[in-house]
Each structure stands twice: as C-alpha cells, then as structure tokens.
Structure 1
Amino acid sequence: MFIIQLQFSTNKSQAKEYMPAHQEWITQGVDDDVFLVVGNLEPNRGGAIMAHNATSKEIHERVSNDPFVVHNIVRAEIIEITPKLTDKRLDFLLKR
C-alpha cells in the first residue's frame, strides 16, 4: 500500500493549465484499480492518494507520469506501507 503526497512546488501558478490532464491521470489510476482514495491536502497544499495493487516500481513510474509532476507543479513523496492490521473492511490490503 502507498500514500502519495503531491505538495505544490514553485510552479503552482500553472496548476490550472494542467488540471484537465492531471484529472485524467487520476481517473486512469482509479479505473486501473490502483488509486483507492484521492483528496486534497489542506489548506491548499496539494493532494494525496492512497494506492495499492501495484509494485513500488509501478507506483513510482505512474507518479512520474502525472502531468503535475512532469511540469514541476507538485513535488511527489511516495510512502510505502506494509499493513499488519486493518479494520475488516480493509482486509484486502493485507498481503496474503
């Protein structure tokens, strides 16, 4: 499981220009069953994604293709988590 933090960087002012492409990238991640949760970092600091169903290499590659990352609108930090205990509704996150 991964937590991806996308914090605004020096080109934040260009976010509006690349927002449609960034949203397509997010939709693709959800459609691919990789992104579980997508939301904003408050207040207006960027975004965060909870992801699974991919290797570390695949997540890093996917994140590197985000138009916001490509155009330095956000700085990405990827945190890998190995779940050990979950609420039963999240048992699918446990490695078997």
Structure 2
Amino acid sequence: MFVLELSYTAPLDAVDAVLEDHVAWLDGLYEQGVFLASGRKEPRDGGVILAVAEDRARIEEITTGDPFVRAGVCEYRVTEFVATKTAPALERYRETLR
C-alpha cells in the first residue's frame, strides 16, 4: 500500500487552473481500483492519496500522469508501507510481513 503526498509548487490559482483535469484523473484511478481515499491537506498546500498497486514503479508511473505534475504545480512524495492491520472495509488489502 502507498501513501502519496502531494505538495504544491505553484500558487493556488495555477493549481486551480488544472483542478478539473486532476479530479478526472483521480476518478479514473478510483475506477481502476488503484486509489482508495484522497483529499486536500489543511492548510491547503497539497493533498494525500491512499493507493494500492503491484509495486512502487507502477505508482511512480501513475503519479507522472497526474495533470498537476504535467502542469508543474505539484511534486509527489511516495511512502510504501505494509498494511498489516486495516478497518474491516479494507480487509482485502491486508498484507503479511515478508
């Protein structure tokens, strides 16, 4: 499982200019089952996404497709973790330590 932390690198007006495209990109990845939760950070200087994928390389490939990245208005920090405990609704994403 992965935590994707977005940090804005441009003023909010530049972020807002591509927000609609970013939301459509998010929607597509929710439909694919890659994204589980997402939202803005408070204060609004970026966002956070909880994601699942086969490996880090796939997540990094996905983040490069974000319209925010392509427009140069954000950077990603990717943290991979082993989800050994979850809420019941996320049970199918539980992992065991290797």
Partner of 2:59: 59
Partner of 1:7: 7
Partner of 2:29: 29
Q: Structure 1 length as normaliser, TM-score? A: 0.87
1:20 equivalent in alignment to 2:34? no
For residues 35 and 87 of structure 1, the distance between their equivalents in structure 2, rounded to whole angstroms, comes to 16
| Structure 1 gap segments, 5+ residues each | none
| Structure 2 gap segments, 5+ residues each | none
Preserved CA contact (<8 Å) 1:29 1:35: yes
- 1:11 CA drift (Å): 5.1
Q: Structure 2 length as normaliser, TM-score? A: 0.86
Number of residue pairs matched by the alignment = 96
For residues 81 and 95 of structure 1, the distance between their equivalents in structure 2, rounded to whole angstroms, comes to 10
Preserved CA contact (<8 Å) 2:5 2:47: yes
Partner of 1:86: 86
Q: Which moved more, 1:51-60 or 1:11-20?
A: 11-20
- 1:51 CA drift (Å): 0.4
Identity score, percent: 25
Partner of 1:46: 46
RMSD: 1.6
Partner of 1:72: 72
